[in-house]
A and B are shown apart, each in its own frame.
Chain A
Amino acid sequence: MFRLALRMLYGDRSKYLMLMSGIVFATILMAQGGSLFCGIMSWMASTLHNVRAPIWVSDPMVQQVGDNRPMRDTDVSRVRSVEGVSWAVPLYQSVIQVKLGNGKAQAVTLMGIDNTSLIGAPQTMLEGDIEDLRKPNSVIIDIYGVQLLGRELGRPIRVGDRFEMNDREAVVVGICKVQRGFMGGPYMYTSYDRAVLYAPSQRKMLSFVLAGVQEGADAATVSARISAESGLRAYTEDEFFWSTIAWYMRNTPIPINIGLIVLIGFIVGTAVSGQAFYAFVLENTRNLGALKAMGLGTWRLAAMLVIQSLTVGMTGYGIGMGVVSLMGRALIRSGRVPFLLLWQVGAIVGCAVLIICTISALLGISRIARLEPAIVFRS
C-alpha cells in the first residue's frame, strides 16, 4: 500500500510540487537563518580562531573577546609565575584608523603579537613571511584588508605599500588569510611593541595575556588557578568562545532577529504544507472512502498519509538544504556575509521539517479518521 500511497502522491504533480515548495521554502528560511546566526557568532569570535592560545587572561570585567579593558604590562609576568603555566605573552587588540596614501582612512583591527615568540600570528601566509614582522615598521594585512583598502586606494594593496597609523609609518610585509571579524574590519598584524605605538596612547595598553600550559597540566585547572592567584579573569579557549557567544546572545538583538526569521520559516512551512496536504486529503476523500469501504483500515490509511507526508518532507528538506548549501557557497566565496552551515543546523531544521510533516499528516489523519466509508454510496 505504501507504493500506492507514493503513486497517488506523485500522480498529482501540481499538488505534489505545491506541498514540496512549502517545505523547500521553510527549509531555506530556517537553514539560512540558522547558518547566518552561526556565521555571525563565528565572526564575533574570529579573534579567538585567528590567534589560538590555550588560555586567555583579561581584566576581570571582560566577558567577550571584542571587549578591550587594558591591563598593566606587568600582568604578563604575574600570569607567567602561576604554577602550570608554560609560557605567557602579551596581546594587543584595538580598532584603529589607517590613513592611505590618497588621504582616505579605513578602520582595521590591529593585533599586536609578542615581539619574540610571535605567538598569535596568522596561520596562513599568502605572501611574505611571518618573520618579516621583525623588520622596522612592518605590518601584515589580511586578504580582506587587501580588497577593502584597495577599493579606497583604487588598486589592490601589495607588499611594500605604506600607510600611516597615528602619525607613524607602516609598511606591508606580508598578506595573510584569517577568519573575518564582524565588527572591526580587516585584521592587521604587527609586533606588540609597535602596536602600542600605532595605537592612541593610554596609561595601560595590554589587552590580553595569552598563556600555555605545561605538559600534563589541565588547561581548565591552570586557568582557574590564574584567576584565583592573579585576580584577573582567565578563560580556556573554549570557555572564552562560549562566553563571547553568550555575551552577544544576551546583549544584542541578533538572536531575536534571526530567531524571528526561523520562526517565520517554520510557520510558513507549517501553514503552506499543512493546508496543501489537508486540501490533498479533501480532494481524495472519495477515493480514500472507497479504499476504506474496500477493507483498508484507518491505521493503514493513516500510515499511507504519513508516508506521503514524510516523502514530501524529506524531498523538500533535501532540495532546501541543497539550495542553502549553494547559496552559502556563493556567500562564503564573496566573503561579505557571515555564513556557517553546521551539521547541527541541518539536524535542527530536519527536526522542524519532521514536526511540520507530522502536523500536516495529523490534519489529514483527523479527516480520514472521521471519514465514513459509506460516503462512497452517496452520489
Chain B
Amino acid sequence: MNDTISTSKAAALQLSGLCKSFGSGLSYTKVLHKAHFEARLGELLMLVGPSGCGKTTLLSILAGTLHADEGEVNVLGQALHAMSEKERTAFRAKYLGFIFQQFNLIPTITVAENVSVPLLIQGHSVRKALRKAVQTLERVGLGKRVNERPMKLSGGEQQRVAIARALVHEPTLVLCDEPTSALDSENGVAVMKLLREAANEPGRTVIVVTHDPRIYHFADRMAEMEDGRVFRVLEGAQDIAAHHPAF
C-alpha cells in the first residue's frame, strides 16, 4: 500500500470492468457484468437501482471487503485489487468510513465508546479517542447522549451515532449502505443533511447506496445501476430531476 494518496478529482474512485458472481451450478448468479464507475473527491454520489441490481456487491468491492472476479478497483489512487488482505484492512482503517443499513452499533458499550472504535483501531489512546468521539457526537447533535447505550436511542439517533463513527477519524471516503431505509422521512432528511455537510468538507467523497427517492435531491451525481452494470450517470440536480420526477 502506498502511503500517499491522490487528491485529484479524477482519481478519487475508479472501478473498471468489474465482474462478480456467486455460487456454482444451478445456484450460479452473475451479479456484476463489466461494471464501470467513477467518483470524485468532494462530491456526494448516489448509487441507485432496483433491488438485486448489484449495488451492495459493488459497495462491498470498493470497500475492499469483497474480491471482484475480474476488473480493477482504484480508490484514492491505490489499486485495491492488487493489495493483500492485510493492506486492504489497514487501508480501510485509515481512509474509509462506513455507515450501515442496520447501524451495527455495539449494544453493550456507550455511544461515545462506539464512536471511538475507528480511532482505537488506528491505535489512538482510549482517552484521546473518547475525547474526539464526544466532539464528533456534539457535531451531530448528540452531545448530551454520549454515555447512553445505543438501544436507548431512537433509530434516527442511532444512525447519527453511526455517522459520527464514520466521520470521527476523518476518512477521505465515506461509504453508506441504505442509510435512510430504516428511518422515517424526517429522520432520513436529518441524516442526509449531515452526510451532505460531510461531503462538503474538502477532500472527502461520500457514496450513498440507496433506492429511497426522498433523498435523491442531496446528490451531486447519481449513478444508476441495472443488471449488474452502471448504465447511466446523472450530473446535477436538474439532470436528476429530469430522470426522476418523483423527487
**Of B86, B101, B120, most A-chain CB atoms within 10 Å:** B120
Whether B89 lies near A297 (C-beta < 8 A) is yes
Whether B65 lies near A377 (C-beta < 8 A) is yes
Return chain A residues, CB-CB under 8 Å to B109: 4, 7-8, 11
Contact of A372 among B65, B90, B98, B117 (CB under 8 A): B65
Q: Mark B67-103, 1 if CB is under 8 A from A, else 0.
A: 0000000000000000000100111111010101110
Whether A1 lies near B59 (C-beta < 8 A) is no
- Least CB distance from B134 to A in Å reads 16
Kindly specify which of A19-27, A48-56, A222-230, A284-292 makes contact with the partner chain: A284-292
A379 contacts the other chain (CB 8 A):
yes
Q: A8-B106, A377-B56, A378-B56 are in contact. Are A293 and B121 (CB under 8 A)?
A: no
Q: CA of A8 to CA of B223 in the docked complex: distance in angstroms?
A: 39
B63 contacts the other chain (CB 8 A):
yes
Whether B98 lies near A290 (C-beta < 8 A) is yes
Whether A1 lies near B120 (C-beta < 8 A) is yes
A61 contacts the other chain (CB 8 A):
no
* Nearest CB in chain B to that of A373: its residue: B65
**Of B90, B101, B108, B109, most A-chain CB atoms within 10 Å:** B108
- Least CB distance from A140 to B in Å reads 65
**Of B91, B104, B113, most A-chain CB atoms within 10 Å:** B104
Whether B63 lies near A372 (C-beta < 8 A) is no
Return chain B residues, CB-CB under 8 Å to A1: 120-121
Return chain A residues, CB-CB under 8 Å to B122: 295
Return chain A residues, CB-CB under 8 Å to B107: 11, 287
A374 contacts the other chain (CB 8 A):
yes
Q: CA of A297 to CA of B113 in the docked complex: distance in angstroms?
A: 19
Q: A11-B109, A374-B66, A377-B100 are in contact. Are A295 and B120 (CB under 8 A)?
A: no
Return chain B residues, CB-CB under 8 Å to A10: 108
- Least CB distance from B233 to A in Å reads 22
Whether A291 lies near B102 (C-beta < 8 A) is no
Q: CA of A287 to CA of B150 in the docked complex: distance in angstroms?
A: 13
A12 contacts the other chain (CB 8 A):
yes
Q: Which of A292-321 contact B (CB under 8 A)?
A: 292-297, 300
B237 contacts the other chain (CB 8 A):
no
- Least CB distance from B90 to A in Å reads 7
- Least CB distance from B63 to A in Å reads 7
- Least CB distance from A232 to B in Å reads 71
**Of B100, B101, B113, most A-chain CB atoms within 10 Å:** B100
Q: A7-B113, A8-B109, A294-B117 are in contact. Are A376 and B104 (CB under 8 A)?
A: yes
Whether A293 lies near B113 (C-beta < 8 A) is no
Return chain A residues, CB-CB under 8 Å to B98: 290, 293-294, 376
Whether A294 lies near B65 (C-beta < 8 A) is no
* Nearest CB in chain A to that of B90: its residue: A295
Whether A297 lies near B100 (C-beta < 8 A) is no
A135 contacts the other chain (CB 8 A):
no
A3 contacts the other chain (CB 8 A):
yes
B177 contacts the other chain (CB 8 A):
yes
Q: CA of A372 to CA of B61 in the docked complex: distance in angstroms?
A: 12
Q: CA of A203 to CA of B177 in the docked complex: distance in angstroms?
A: 98
Q: Mark B96-137, 1 if CB is under 8 A from A, else 0.
A: 101011101011110001000110111000100000000000
Q: CA of A378 to CA of B104 in the docked complex: distance in angstroms?
A: 11
Return chain B residues, CB-CB under 8 Å to A372: 65-66
Q: CA of A1 to CA of B178 in the docked complex: distance in angstroms?
A: 28
B60 contacts the other chain (CB 8 A):
yes
Return chain B residues, CB-CB under 8 Å to A289: 104
Contact of A3 among B106, B108, B126 (CB under 8 A): B126
Whether B92 lies near A293 (C-beta < 8 A) is yes
Return chain A residues, CB-CB under 8 Å to B108: 7-8, 10-12
Return chain A residues, CB-CB under 8 Å to B117: 4, 291, 294
* Nearest CB in chain A to that of B120: its residue: A1
Q: A290-B104, A377-B100 are in contact. Are A296 and B63 (CB under 8 A)?
A: no
Contact of A296 among B91, B93, B177, B181 (CB under 8 A): B93
Return chain A residues, CB-CB under 8 Å to B65: 292-293, 372-374, 376-377
Ordered by A's residue number, 12 sampled pairs between the chains whose C-beta atoms are within 8 Å are A284-B106, A290-B100, A294-B93, A294-B98, A295-B89, A295-B93, A295-B118, A296-B93, A376-B104, A377-B60, A377-B63, A379-B101
Closest 5 A-B residue pairs measured CB to CB? A11-B108, A295-B93, A290-B104, A373-B65, A295-B92
- Beyond contacts A291-B117, A292-B65, A294-B118: 19 other A-B pairs, Cβ-Cβ < 8 A, are A3-B126, A7-B108, A8-B109, A11-B108, A284-B106, A286-B102, A287-B107, A289-B104, A290-B104, A291-B121, A293-B65, A293-B92, A294-B121, A295-B93, A295-B94, A295-B121, A295-B122, A376-B100, A379-B181
